[in-house]
Amino acid sequence: MQSAEQHPSHSSSISSNPDTNKKSNNLSILLELLQFIKPYKAKVIAALVALIFTASLTLTVGHGVRILIDQGFAQASLQQLGEAIRFIVLITILISIGTFFRFYLVSSVGERVSADIRLSVFNHVITLHPSYFETNGSGDIMSRITTDTTLLQSIIGSSFSMAMRSALMCIGAIIMLFATNIKLTLIVLASVPFILVPILVYGRRVRALSRKSQDSMSDVGSYAGEAIEHIKTVQSYSYEHQERVSFSEEVEKAYEIGRQRVKQRAILIAGVIAIVFCAISGMLWVGGSDVINGNMSAGDLGAFVFYAIMVASSLATISEVLGELQRAAGATERLIEILQVESEITSPLQTTSTSNLAAEVSFHDVDFHYPSRPGQSAISQLNLTAHEGKVLALVGPSGAGKTTLFELLQRFYDPQSGSVTLGGVDIREFEPQHLRQQMALVPQQPALFSHDVFHNIRYGNPDATDEQVIEAAKKAHAHEFITQLPEGYQSFLGERGVRLSGGQRQRIAIARAILKDPQILLLDEATSALDSESEHHVQQALDELMQGRTTIIIAHRLSTIQHADQIAVLENGRVVDVGNHTSLLLSSKLYKRLVDLQFKHLES
Ligand SMILES: Nc1ncnc2c1ncn2[C@@H]1O[C@H](COP(=O)(O)OP(=O)(O)OP(=O)(O)O)[C@@H](O)[C@H]1O
Ligand SMILES: [Mg+2]
């Protein structure tokens, strides 16, 4: 049986939340899984039939044992012995065929259902509003999509069918026990509470420890993940030793919890074995005396022992599976939780078409604070217009709210009051996807995917041909360096594009925007100073891109500012001045200061 305990899961943030823990003890949440199982009803019913078939056949083996002993051995008849053996072999073959179908059907439904859940969680998550991801870490969401669904897969695919089989067998075996010998059955049943008590007590401890051990495994995983991600920082500060020490503390903690869990389990198993075998010995003593006194046939006793062992092993399985089901309930809950989140950025009932609209964007009295910082406004009472085909530059100190304006324009957030319009229409009246199709963003830190160059540029337009991609790269002044990469356009760029320089990454992002060919261009210049060679390249690429489009550019480089038709100076989320380079030099102290600083920087 597969267990998610072996996987590092990032569940620490989840289980540190006491509410989730409390709720996950409630098994009824598992009913939510029915909607995912429903499409495979036929398979489930077939599996149930196979299950009942094998369970009842297994029970008849007890009858075979009785014939074997009473008629084969007791009457020393070779012919009867052969018959009994043939009976048992036949039943065994039928059981194995039934088991094949039961196992295959149930496990494949388990695989399918967990794949479906994974798909529907991802399909849902990818549409959620960005602020959701500010309060819910990506590690947490990832662990729900991978670890929690894997846990469900193993539970739907095996534990659940084991529980069903054991329950059926247990009931069937108890009935057979009564049918065979009532007195002995009562002895067996009397020992059940002695088995249940330790299972319940220790089972609970084991469960608590297994949750703790999962948490600490997830700490180990995230600790290693972070150190590896920032490996250059670790090494450049010669922090390897400290990292080793801290990591080994995490590992030892996880080991200690794991050891305790295993110890509890070992005690439980030893205790159950002792009690079960004592009970069986007691029963053999009573039953054996009955056989010797002639009150009972040896075959009956044999069959009885067979059924008693069956009851004991089914009970053991059920008790183990119950713990698994508890964990499945927790996993299900975490998945359902995500599925129930509704996106805060929704399309209106009646959408307006984006075609034939002027490529002009305006902010009207916009007030906005980020949802995670309700007390601190990022934009206040802001009015600003970018005219069609013109270049609007935004300047201002760090944290002034420049990037925030781009986020509002793309409707990643809605302002708390005021409105943003495109061609005079409130952007909330468009389908968000259509709105975003009108714009292309070249961000401060370009996001590249761990794929090749083709894939990364084609992100601007999935239907573009290779020739179109190369054309865009040429316009972005990226063609030259791309052809020098080991495999040209097929070169793999590494995670987040680590195999490229900052300037190269930006030009890939520009090529992507060129390929998208939008009406409105949003450029967020990187603050990191590019050397003059690559600045020259990037600037040329941008000039190419800006032609004939409405452009809003967050400018850090003077060269860009001077070209702009209009410059807005921002400070603390407000527009403090609007004009062009020459007029602002006279009218705006802040602008003059920013320009002076940059000249000083360039001279030094
Ligand atoms: N996702 C976020 N959640 C909460 N606050 C945020 C978030 N993003 C930005 N802020 C805050 O909003 C304010 C404006 O940030 P913004 O990114 O718009 O600044 P900026 O003008 O682009 O600065 P820079 O020139 O450094 O890029 C800052 O005070 C910042 O701390
Ligand atoms: Mg910014």
Note the pLDDT tens digit of each residue in 154-195. Answer: 877 778 788 888 888 888 888 888 888 888 888 778 877 877
Do residues 301 and 287 touch, judged by C-beta distance below 8 A? Answer: yes
- The average pLDDT across 566-592 equals 90
Q: Which of 129, 403, 597 to mutate to test the pocket of ligand 1 (most atoms within 8 A of CB)?
A: 403
Would you place residue 570 in the very low, low, confident or very high pLDDT band (cuts 50, 70, 90)?
Answer: very high
Residue 492: DSSP 8-state: B
- Cα(379) to centroid of ligand 1, in Å? 10
Asked whether residue 124 carries a pLDDT value surpassing 90, the answer given is yes
pLDDT of residue 321: 77
Q: Which of 132, 138, 366, 370 to mutate to test the pocket of ligand 1 (most atoms within 8 A of CB)?
A: 370
- The average pLDDT across 243-265 equals 87
- Cα(574) to centroid of ligand 1, in Å? 13
Strands ordered across the beta sheet of 425-426: 379-386, 361-368, 417-422, 425-426
Cα–Cα distance between 207 and 323 in angstroms, integer? Answer: 6
Asked whether residue 529 carries a pLDDT value surpassing 50, the answer given is no
Ligand 1 atom nearest the C-alpha of 402 is: 21
Whole-structure pTM value: 0.75
Residue 107 CB less than 6 A away from ligand 1? no
Ligand 1 atom nearest the C-alpha of 444 is: 27
Q: What percent of the chain has pLDDT over 70?
A: 91
Q: Which residues contact 181 (CB under 8 A, 6 or more apart)?
A: 287, 290, 296, 300, 304
Asked whether residue 125 carries a pLDDT value surpassing 70, the answer given is yes
Asked whether residue 580 carries a pLDDT value surpassing 50, the answer given is yes
Q: How far is CA 514 from CA 238, 466, 477, 522, 551, in A?
A: 42, 14, 11, 12, 13
Lowest mean pLDDT among 12-21, 85-94, 188-197, 401-410: 12-21
- The average pLDDT across 126-135 equals 87
Smallest CA separation from ligand 1 atom 2, residue: 370
Asked whether residue 591 carries a pLDDT value surpassing 90, the answer given is no
Sign of CA dihedral 228, 229, 232, 238: negative
Cα–Cα distance between 124 and 342 in angstroms, integer? Answer: 9
Strands (E), 369-450: 379-386, 391-395, 417-422, 425-426, 439-442
Residue 409 CB less than 6 A away from ligand 1? no
Q: What angle do CA 584, 587, 593 make, to 5 degrees?
A: 70
Determine the 3-state secondary structure of 370 from DSSP. coil
Cβ neighbourhood burial of 524 (10 Å; 0-12, 13-18, 19+): buried
What count of other Cβ atoms lies within 10 Å of the Cβ of residue 37?
16
Cα–Cα distance between 405 and 553 in angstroms, integer? Answer: 11
Asked whether residue 539 carries a pLDDT value surpassing 80, the answer given is no
pLDDT of residue 415: 94
Residue 398 CB less than 6 A away from ligand 1? yes
Residue 370 CB less than 6 A away from ligand 1? yes
Asked whether residue 8 carries a pLDDT value surpassing 70, the answer given is no
pLDDT of residue 324: 73
- Cα(402) to centroid of ligand 2, in Å? 6
pLDDT of residue 363: 95
Asked whether residue 551 carries a pLDDT value surpassing 70, the answer given is yes
Asked whether residue 501 carries a pLDDT value surpassing 50, the answer given is yes
What confidence tens digit (pLDDT) does each residue in 413-448 have?
A: 999 999 999 999 999 999 998 999 999 998 888 888
Say how many CA atoms lie within 13 Å of 528 toward its Cβ: 11
Bridge partners (DSSP) listed for residue 567: 393, 579
Residue 548 CB less than 6 A away from ligand 1? no
- Cα(369) to centroid of ligand 1, in Å? 10
CA dihedral 192, 194, 196, 200 (to 10 degrees): 180
Asked whether residue 454 carries a pLDDT value surpassing 50, the answer given is yes
Residue 552: its H or E element: strand 550-554
Asked whether residue 470 carries a pLDDT value surpassing 50, the answer given is yes
Q: What is the mean pLDDT of the chain?
A: 83
Determine the 3-state secondary structure of 578 from DSSP. strand
Sign of CA dihedral 323, 324, 327, 328: negative
Q: For residues 2-33, b (16+ Cβ closer than 10 Å) or e, as one string?
A: eebbebbbbbbbbbeeeebeeebeeeebbeeb
Asked whether residue 209 carries a pLDDT value surpassing 60, the answer given is yes
What count of other Cβ atoms lies within 10 Å of the Cβ of residue 321?
23
pLDDT of residue 21: 42
- Cα(223) to centroid of ligand 2, in Å? 29
Cα–Cα distance between 444 and 499 in angstroms, integer? Answer: 18
Would you place residue 258 in the very low, low, confident or very high pLDDT band (cuts 50, 70, 90)?
Answer: confident
Would you place residue 207 in the very low, low, confident or very high pLDDT band (cuts 50, 70, 90)?
Answer: low
Residue 135 CB less than 6 A away from ligand 1? no
What confidence tens digit (pLDDT) does each residue in 34-84 have?
A: 889 899 999 989 988 998 898 888 888 888 788 878 877 777 778 878 887
Q: How far is CA 369 from CA 129, 191, 403, 416, 582, in A?
A: 15, 66, 13, 7, 33
Q: How far is CA 546 from CA 459, 505, 511, 523, 543, in A?
A: 19, 19, 12, 10, 5
Asked whether residue 25 carries a pLDDT value surpassing 60, the answer given is no
Residue 372 CB less than 6 A away from ligand 1? yes
Would you place residue 4 in the very low, low, confident or very high pLDDT band (cuts 50, 70, 90)?
Answer: very low
Would you place residue 494 in the very low, low, confident or very high pLDDT band (cuts 50, 70, 90)?
Answer: confident
Would you place residue 594 in the very low, low, confident or very high pLDDT band (cuts 50, 70, 90)?
Answer: confident
Which residues lie near ion ligand 2 (Cβ < 5 Å)? 403
Torsions phi, psi for 150 (to 5 deg): -65, -40
Q: Which of 404, 408, 524, 554 to mutate to test the pocket of ligand 1 (most atoms within 8 A of CB)?
A: 404
Listed ranges 142-151, 308-317, 401-410, 473-482; the one with the highest mean pLDDT: 401-410
Would you place residue 601 in the very low, low, confident or very high pLDDT band (cuts 50, 70, 90)?
Answer: low
What confidence tens digit (pLDDT) does each residue in 384-396 have?
A: 999 999 999 999 8
Of residues 575 and 496, more confidently modeled: 575
Bridge partners (DSSP) listed for residue 441: 522
Residue type, 320: E
Of residues 107 and 528, more confidently modeled: 107
Residue 134 CB less than 6 A away from ligand 1? yes
What count of other Cβ atoms lies within 10 Å of the Cβ of residue 72?
19
Asked whether residue 5 carries a pLDDT value surpassing 50, the answer given is no
pLDDT of residue 133: 86
383: tokens are: 């009015």
- The average pLDDT across 89-117 equals 90
**Least distant ligand from the CA of 407:** 1
Of 469, 482, 465, 553, the C-alpha closest to 514 is 469
Cα–Cα distance between 245 and 44 in angstroms, integer? Answer: 51
Do residues 338 and 121 touch, judged by C-beta distance below 8 A? Answer: yes
Q: What angle do CA 484, 490, 494 make, to 5 degrees?
A: 90
pLDDT of residue 3: 38
Lowest mean pLDDT among 67-71, 109-113, 219-223, 413-417: 219-223
pLDDT of residue 214: 64
Would you place residue 123 in the very low, low, confident or very high pLDDT band (cuts 50, 70, 90)?
Answer: very high
